[in-house]
Structure 1
């Protein structure tokens, strides 16, 4: 069976060779692993991490590949950048209009990873895996005066009409701008994830909250809890998942003696 696994090296014959997916018995397996970025070819080629551009290109390729009956997105990611995520999620949704797309969380689909997974027709969570962290966050800082910590004072300037370019989190105005930007990103996330899961953004926020207050979202959930909250569809081992998916989409054996169904990529045992 195809195996995109966390920790496996990228299959390459040099820095130019890259395998974004494998095809086995009519099912394409696309690993979605690592910290997700817009288009970092360095991280994709040398670390094996997915990029939004790579996923978008892969979706287009698989949509037109007659050898592919269905697609599995196998997730091993803590999330990543907001920039580019909406486009990749849209590409997955568009692919799902042409061919069935299944998501397997093994072992993590958090934040932007869940944004992508939510566009599949079904989300399966492997035992011990987690998903969620539905929301947006940013890490920033403010420089301090000498003698107040680092002892370093820096000055930054922006053009006359770009005050929001580098908001200062030490000021009320800066915090307001940061929260505004996060709110916009979260709203896009909620709309896309809710559409993928067949619900409303309001219902999604309720499902994702750990209390009755919808502001208490952003948590990670294990498989059983994710299914209970309707954020995923089932909890299933990786072996059982691929047995089910390959059984559903493998084409009928060819009657010509000695011929085998088309297969590309690595074939290894599930774990």
Structure 2
């Protein structure tokens, strides 16, 4: 029963993440909690995915330059630490670590603009609003461009929508604007196992929503209000970042679904459809054209100094 309670606690966290992707992470946690060893096929897949992530990050490092810092935002979004890098798939990204890298790029005088490379199904809501605010503030200091390459869903879209410009690859997807959480009632299962919990608590609502009993109307209402609050913050941030009305975010933009590139562009969720390399080239051209040109007087003075 400890396994079920661990998963219940995990899923009770408010998530801004595609449910099917969270189900995949849950299956891994399920195996961990049982103490089952991963199959050789699974271990080979994990190793292959880790190698692919490292190769992709190295390619980003090589593509940076010309005053452009490229920051990867890959995998499940968490607040602290990269928590699931040892599982198959795109791994995870910490909002705290990403924010630190963003601050370094803003402070670096050699960096003129920033490109965020996003490939993420979203994640926990914790830390997302804070990172989104930092990206929005960074726009006033340096151009911050983001690209869904090839997925910016839920929390990842929340983050990407704060960039000065947001693009999606031709085969990419963006959206999944919404927040959800789950409650699991294991009371009948525990009763069949002969387990009868007694909760000792202080505070009227301290054990509200616990998995040992059915969810009552008052607890359901509170959990719904908690979800609504995060959804309100999510949609407000997207509306501000994309320069549209909140009603447009709530009544359009997929209403919780991910949208393909063409549909996302039609909904004004992105600024264009482009490959990563083309976005990088555009930023390089923009950087060159924005460099201040010396005045004729300054050129004449330098020529006199040479003479």
TM-score range, shorter chain: 0.7 to 0.9
Residues 75 and 41 of structure 1: is their aligned pair in 2 closer, same or farther, counting only changes over 3 Å? closer
Counterpart residue number, 2:105: 62
Q: Deviations over 1:53-73 (max 9, x none)?
A: 012112211111111111111
User: What aligned pairs does 1:93-242 form with structure 2 within 5 A after superposition?
Assistant: 93-146=136-189, 154-163=197-206, 166=209, 170-209=215-254, 217-242=255-280
Q: Kindly tell me the number of residue pairs found equivalent between the two proteins.
A: 234
Residues 147 and 99 of structure 1: is their aligned pair in 2 closer, same or farther, counting only changes over 3 Å? closer
Counterpart residue number, 1:255: none
Q: Which runs of 5+ in 1 are unaligned?
A: 12-17, 210-216, 253-271
Normalization by structure 2: what TM-score?
0.68
Taking the aligned partners of 1:149 and 1:223, their CA distance within structure 2 comes to 50
Larger-Rg structure: 2
Residues 135 and 48 of structure 1: is their aligned pair in 2 closer, same or farther, counting only changes over 3 Å? closer
Q: Deviations over 1:93-141 (max 9, x none)?
A: 1111100011110111111001000100111100111010101111331
Taking the aligned partners of 2:235 and 2:144, their CA distance within structure 1 comes to 20
Counterpart residue number, 1:14: none
Taking the aligned partners of 2:189 and 2:93, their CA distance within structure 1 comes to 42
Counterpart residue number, 2:281: 243
The structural deviation recorded for 1:165 is: 5.3
2:123 is aligned with 1:80: yes
Taking the aligned partners of 1:90 and 1:52, their CA distance within structure 2 comes to 12
Taking the aligned partners of 1:25 and 1:152, their CA distance within structure 2 comes to 64
Q: Higher helix fraction: Structure 1 or Structure 2?
A: 2
